[in-house]
Structure 1
Amino acid sequence: MTSTEHGGAVPKPSNWNLPNAITVIRILLAPVFFAMLLADGGTDSWLRWAAAVLFILAIATDGIDGHIARSRNLVTDLGKLLDPIADKVLTGAALVGLSILAELPWWVTIVILVREIGITVWRFVQLSDRVIPASRGGKLKTLAQSIAISLALLPFPSLLGDWMNWVNGVTMTIAVLLTVLTGIDYLVQAWRLNRRPAAAA
């Protein structure tokens, strides 16, 4: 329960709400997208286009559920926790799929996944004290990853020429750099938080 200016109590929103349902759907769509991507086998068939469009639509719901939650006062601790997890499951499926198809170096996928899994584990460890939502830098990182992965999934090079490979390389490089930098920022925050109890003692 939370208090209003006049001393009244405002009930917390239920975890069973529309934004959280959209987030769960995004998680459930990840294996469907992954199967479609691998079924194409890198042949740029209609399955590849369908997989790319499904990824773009699914990742776009990240902004939709966040907007609904904030505008309708439906922000919950569960939503704060599930939202970044849904993004990581979906982007992780895309990165692994692209690497399996030999369209993305495995080291890129590994660097991103190690960072994402590490921060997610850290969030779970902190659950007993507080829920840590995604930072502004983390949201920018997610946007950069979404753009880079979407461009990598869309078979534009076969239609527009090899210069699209250069564009894909630049956008993916930006995404990797933001992933690493925001990961370091989270580690610095964790170090500072761990120092506070010691300083207080």
Structure 2
Amino acid sequence: MRTDPTTAPGAGVPLWNIANVLTILRIAMVPVFAVLLLQGGTAMRLAATAVFLAAAVTDKIDGHLARSRGLVTDFGKLADPIADKALVLSALVLLSVQGLLPWWVTVVITVRELGVTLLRFVMVRRSVMAASKGGKLKTVLQVVFITGLLLPWSALLPDPAAQVMQILTWAVVLAAVVVTVVTAVDYLVQAVRLARRGPGRTGP
């Protein structure tokens, strides 16, 4: 019997399913976002913000579709986190390049994201480190403050309101940094405990 080339080996799930297509689309949005942001000007910044938000929304949609419709594939497991990291880290770097975000914030978040990803990869043979609620909160805060920094508030709102939105954005930046560090420590603690416990799985 012939094997369908579009089917993930051993899984019986089509590789080209809607969840994976959305993941690929999200990856393709990253360079589009970068080009728009680098153009400068209010219109291009708004367009870049729209692309960033669209990509962030597809992250939730493709994950839900994959789980609810049984479309989880090895490709999706690999590509989804790559798409997430590419989107957020490219936004942070570009914001820092343009002087809109201190480099230390970008460095802290980048080290955390890559470090935790590596940690989970190293630990996968011993146990599966489930995503924590803190990690999900961290992602939400990152998306919110990146959006806040991308939006040209002074061009959209009168001075008092624009200044308030800028202050709120920086409050979210600081909150995101705190949660980023705290969740990194939490993952390290998890890794130590799991290493002592031996092979197995974490709780939900």
Q: If the TM-score is normalised by the length of the shorter chain, which range does it land in?
A: 0.7 to 0.9
Give the alignment of 1:57-72 within 5 angstroms.
Answer: 57-72=54-69
Residues 91-131 of structure 1 deviation map (CA, whole Å, 9 limit, x = unaligned): 10111111000011110011000000111222333454566
Q: Which of 55, 59, 73 matches 1:76?
A: 73
Q: Shift of residue 38 of structure 1?
A: 1.6
* TM alignment of 1:40-119, pairs within 5 A: 40=40, 44-119=41-116
Paired residues, number:
186
Partners of 1:92 and 1:23 lie apart in 2 by 16
Q: Taking structure 2 as the reference length, what is the TM-score of the superposition?
A: 0.81
Question: Residue in 2 aligned with 1:19?
Answer: 19
Q: How far apart, CA to CA, are the structure 2 residues paired with 1:122 and 1:163?
A: 39
Show structure 1 runs of 4+ deviating over 6 A: none
2:133 to 122, 132, 136: 136
Q: Which amino acid counterpart does residue 27 of structure 2 have in structure 1?
A: I
Percent of aligned positions that are identical: 50
Which residues of structure 2 form unaligned runs of 5+? Answer: 1-9, 200-204
Which digits, 9 at most, give the CA deviation of each residue in 1:139-161, with x for residues without a partner?
22111111111111111233322
Give the aligned residue type for 2:167: W
Cα distance in 2 for partners of 1:15, 1:186 equals 31
**Alpha-carbon deviation of 1:177?**
1.4
Match for residue 120 of structure 1 among 103, 117, 120: 117
**What is the distance in 2 between the residues matched to 1:168 and 1:193?**
37
Q: Where does the alignment leave 5 or more consecutive residues of structure 1 unmatched? A: 1-9
The letter of the residue matching 1:124 is: F
Amino acid at match of 1:28: A
CA distance in 1, matches of 2:107, 2:42: 27
Q: CA deviation at 1:162?
A: 1.9
TM-score, with structure 1 as normaliser: 0.82
1:197 and 2:198 correspond: yes
The alignment partner of 1:103 has SS state of coil
The 2-side partners of 1:102 and 1:15 are apart by 41
Whether 1:155 and 2:156 are equivalent positions in the alignment is: no
- Partners in 2 of 1:98 and 1:114 — Cα distance? 17
2:4 equivalent in structure 1? none
User: What is the rounded CA distance, in whole Å, between the counterparts of 1:78 and 1:194 in structure 2?
Assistant: 27
